[in-house]
Structure 1
Amino acid sequence: MSAAHSLNRILSKPKADDGANIRKLRRMILVEGIPSNEDPTLRPRIWKILLRVADLSADSYLHYVSKGPCEVREKIRNDTFRQNSGNRPRLQRACSRGYADPFTRRLCLAKPWQVTPGMNVLAAPFLYTMPSELEAFFCFSKFIEESCPLYVVPTLEGVHRGLKLLDKCLKIVDPELFSHLRSKNLSAEIYAFPSILTLCACTPPLDQVLQLWDFLLAFGVHLNVLCVIAQLLLMRDELMSSLSPMRLLRTFPPLEAMPVIGIAVTLVRDLPPELYDELVKHPFLL
């Protein structure tokens, strides 16, 4: 039985979002990934289940549409195109149909989360993946409000906490690499800010970003910190032998989702329980 067939069997059940089926989805995402090439409907359906998006209120959506575009709409659209130039035609069609307007209008009106640096890149996977304006809007809103609200407050509290946690975790899982980077005055605040801010969506290619986000939506946004460490470990030899590792860290190598996920999962076992608990809470709990 193919992975696509197995996933479709789970998704076709009346209670696809109950605990047992969620566990099956998570296991399949971890072991096999979502075979989106076989069935392009799988990823959007699974993301809606993982985010528990059930209420797609057209009235609520149209309320934000009726407000018209806000002042940051062009920035979000232009930055999204720049970040995902290889997929520009599809994103161009999405924004021309009006995806960006209700997104940005809700962001402009909502409190306490606001339009912040990086939110344009966080929106891109939803703009690309979801088949309708309604689904993209509600999935993105649910994601921001529940999965990582502290990443989009004006102070970027969750992002800065994530960067500090990256240093703490790296010091435990690879003290030699941590010491080497610190000897060059490199902390996570300096080299990992874009990757933490955007949940690795700043590192192409987009298809690998989507595969990594399957994992983050299934198991928790907090694991992005370990995914960034995994990318460091994949380039460890070059970093350790470099007299100027920042030159390598300015632009991370192209993302490879499955190796990164595999390393991140193994790193969880190396962390003290209290540190992992802090990691889990940092995107949403003060």
Structure 2
Amino acid sequence: MPRSSTSAEAATAHSFNKLLNQHKSSSRSRSAADVEESMKKLRRLILVDGIPSADPTLRPRIWKILLRVQHVSADMFLEYVARGPCEVREKIRNDTFRTLATDRGFKERVREDMLVRLLDAFVWRNHDRHESDLGFTYVQGMNVLAAPFLYTMPSELEAFFCFAKFIEESCPLYVQPTLEGVHRGLKLLDRCLKIVDPELFAHLRSKNLSAEIYAFPSVLTLCACTPPLDQVLLLWDFLLAFGVHLNVLCVVAQLLLMRDKLMESPSPYVHLRAFPPLDAQPVIGIAVTLVRDLPADLYEELVRHPYAVDHH
């Protein structure tokens, strides 16, 4: 790496650390408005500079702040683990061995038993909780949603509490047995694409290609199914900072980045079967600009689709 970019990374890491230290002290002693102000600064820094890899402690600390995970209970986690296999263990095992199977770095850091333990514990946790309208068990895609947390967090314990908070609060409808949030997201993807690029939308439609057909894995896993993992993590920094709903626009952005190929191709599905390797920065840049092109009511629907039970 050239020296200039290394020193730029170091400077960015310094800015993040300074902000995190302020946030820590402000959480203890300052008003909610001050805490929100430091969250705003943090989000802006993520958008403008991205979380630098120069300091490997940054991402886990930032994800915990964004998810508002303040306390993790080892006793509680160990109690779930001690219960052993949950009732859907077989379903979990059918998926876990395939999780990010082609990513060597992931396989070296996250063993299959860690994934199984976390998912078992999550099912047990929700076995005991009755205060929410939505129940949770293990569903398809959850293994891939758990993977970035196990890869990023320094311990299984922290990964578990971050994953649980994320699933239960950020995208509960994505993991209902019907995958309701995912199907809503796919319908919204078609509507957004029709507005931002009617020509591309019409071309795909003329080949009977709706988002349900080509974008299901990308919406289901919040793009974590598209390697490489380091780019997935950069995209997730953005989604955790600004909202899971923006993943729909990140998928639209990926379509726009391969627009020429899709428009020229007599069978565009060939290019959509496996998306090109993820390049987070341009995808985020395009997604942010697309927000401005959407009618307010459609954007509002987009914001609510991962978690709001009431409207269809």
TM-score range, shorter chain: over 0.9
Alignment of 1:99-118 (within 5 A): 100-107=116-123, 110=126, 112-118=135-141
Query: In structure 2, do the counterparts of structure 1 residues 155 and 282 end up closer, same or farther at CA, with 3 Å as the change threshold?
Result: same
**Amino acid in the other structure paired with 1:66:** A
1:12 to 21, 35, 45: 21
CA radius of gyration, larger in? 2
Letter of the 1:15 counterpart: S
Cα displacement (A) at 1:110: 2.0
The TM-score normalised by the length of structure 1 is 0.94
2:55 paired with 1:32:
no
Structure 1 segments (4+ residues) deviating >3 Å: 83-86
Q: Does 1:74 align with 2:97?
A: no
Partner of 1:267: 290
Deviations 1:52-99 (CA, angstroms, capped at 9, x unpaired) = 00011122111111111331443343122525344211112xx45x45
Amino acid across the alignment from 2:121: R
Aligned equivalents of 1:221 and 1:81: distance in 2?
A: 20
CA displacement 1:212-269 (0-9 Å, x = unmatched): 0000000000000000000000000000000000011000000000000000000000
Check whether the contact 2:100–2:144 (CA below 8 A) recurs between aligned residues. no
Percent of aligned pairs sharing the same letter: 67
CA distance in 2, matches of 1:41, 1:152: 29
Question: Cα distance 1:142–1:109, how it changes in 2: closer, same or farther (>3 A)?
Answer: closer
Q: Of the candidates 170, 175, 180, which is equivalent to residue 157 of structure 1?
A: 180
Q: Label 1:22 to 1:81 Cα distance change in 2 as closer, same or farther (>3 A).
A: same
**Distance in structure 2 (CA, Å) of the matches to 1:102 and 1:82:** 18
Q: Which of 200, 203, 213 is the matching residue for 2:223?
A: 200
2:68 equivalent to 1:57:
no
Matched residue type, 2:99: T
Could you tell me which residue of structure 2 aligns to residue 91 of structure 1?
A: 110
Q: Which residue of 1 aligns with 2:130?
A: none
Cα displacement (A) at 1:134: 1.2
Assess, with a 3 A threshold, how the Cα gap between structure 1 residues 108 and 187 changes in structure 2: closer, same or farther: farther
The two structures, once aligned, show a CA RMSD in angstroms of: 1.6
1:97-143 alpha-carbon deviations (Å, 9 max, x no partner): x4531432322562612211111110100010000111100000000
Q: Which amino acid aligns with 2:38?
A: N
Q: Is contact 2:119–2:143 with CA below 8 Å preserved after alignment? A: no
Match of 2:239 among 216, 219, 222: 216
TM-score (norm 2): 0.87
Aligned amino acid, residue 215 of structure 1: F
Q: Is the 8 A contact 1:69 1:102 kept in 2?
A: no
Distance of 1:103 and 1:141 partners within structure 2:
10
Q: Are 2:256 and 1:233 aligned? A: yes
Say if 1:230 and 1:263, in contact at 8 Å, map to a contact too: yes
Distance 1:228 1:192, change over 3 A: same
Return the alpha-carbon distance in structure 2 between the equivalents of residues 76 and 67 of structure 1: 21
Deviations 1:196-225 (A, max 9, x none): 000000000000000000000000000000
**Cα shift at 1:33:** 0.3
Query: How far off its partner does 1:177 sit?
Result: 0.3
Q: 1:64 to 1:102 in 2, by over 3 A?
A: farther
- Distance in 1, matches of 2:123 and 2:222, equals 19
CA separation in 2, counterparts of 1:279 and 1:85?
34
Which moved further from structure 2: 123-132 or 57-66? 57-66
Whether the 8 Å contact between 2:46 and 2:238 is mirrored in structure 1 is: yes
Residue 153 of structure 1 aligns to which amino acid in structure 2? Answer: Q
Cα distance, 1:31 vs structure 2: 0.7
Give, in angstroms, the shift of residue 152 of structure 1. Answer: 0.3
1:257 aligns with 2:280: yes
CA distance in structure 2 between the aligned counterparts of 1:173 and 1:83, rounded to whole angstroms: 34
Q: Do 2:100 and 2:225's aligned partners in 1 also have CA atoms closer than 8 Å?
A: no
The count of residues paired between Structure 1 and Structure 2 equals: 282
Q: Distance in 2 between matches of 1:200 and 1:206?
A: 10
